[in-house]
Structure 1
């Protein structure tokens, strides 16, 4: 059996808006949008990985809130799990530091204004449904 490697994505919310990050690398993903995040390192919890990745990629201090139900396959052996997250008080605003060239805060009616990476589409659909139901 192939070992599963978890990639964490952040549904980072601020004032009811979701942060989307446009990939600048690798070339096959450049120009498309994703929920920021990255791989969970050996011995690291997904929540700790998400906080670390947001600090490295966006320069923000954050806290995870809850895991969004579901898990989405990436290329084998990777799977995507998404957590809602929030900026900590006093954290600098996010800026694209690694692998991204633009960030956008999207209101719920703007979620589909960007060209999401295929694997993020299902996660964003789940986020939208949760917002419609009054949960996040």
Structure 2
């Protein structure tokens, strides 16, 4: 099975809500943590920062690594690294309109009540929070 390396940023607002993007493509409609695939030779932290710039038009500073988990999607093993980050410039907005149609901050309890609307990666992230493995 093919393995794909991904990385993204977990950003929270002053109320502890998590920033997510809504993917709306013919194949997938789901809320997801902003991020994407590592380019050749790129490290996960650099990818996470680049993806936030490309997807949402914000500059971020990474505070720390929150962990790495895997999931299977479309017959591929996805290896995703999460970084806790802070926005240092810009306001989050959808830039890739052919992929995403919305973005916003969501309460963790709200997300836990709608697992069918979340990406496998976001479900993994919520599971790690509920187990006490991730704190932010």
Query: TM-score normalised to the size of structure 1?
Result: 0.81
What is the alpha-carbon distance in structure 1 between the residues aligned to residue 61 and residue 3 of structure 2?
A: 25
> What runs of 5+ residues in structure 1 fail to find an aligned partner?
none
Work out whether residues 64 and 84 of structure 1, in 8 Å CA contact, stay in contact via their aligned partners in 2.
yes
What is the alpha-carbon distance in structure 2 between the residues aligned to residue 42 and residue 21 of structure 1?
A: 24
Aligned to 1:58: 56
Q: 1:104 to 1:128 in 2, by over 3 A?
A: farther
Give the aligned CA root-mean-square deviation in angstroms.
2.2
How is 1:124-135 mapped onto 2 (pairs within 5 angstroms)? 124-130=126-132, 135=135
**Displaced runs of 4+ in structure 1, greater than 4 A?**
none
Query: TM-score normalised to the size of structure 2?
Result: 0.81
Alignment length (residue pairs): 129
How is 1:1-136 mapped onto 2 (pairs within 5 angstroms)? 4-15=3-14, 16-25=16-25, 27-30=26-29, 32-75=30-73, 76-88=76-88, 91-98=89-96, 99-112=99-112, 114=114, 115-130=117-132, 135-136=135-136
Q: 1:113 to 1:96 in 2, by over 3 A?
A: farther
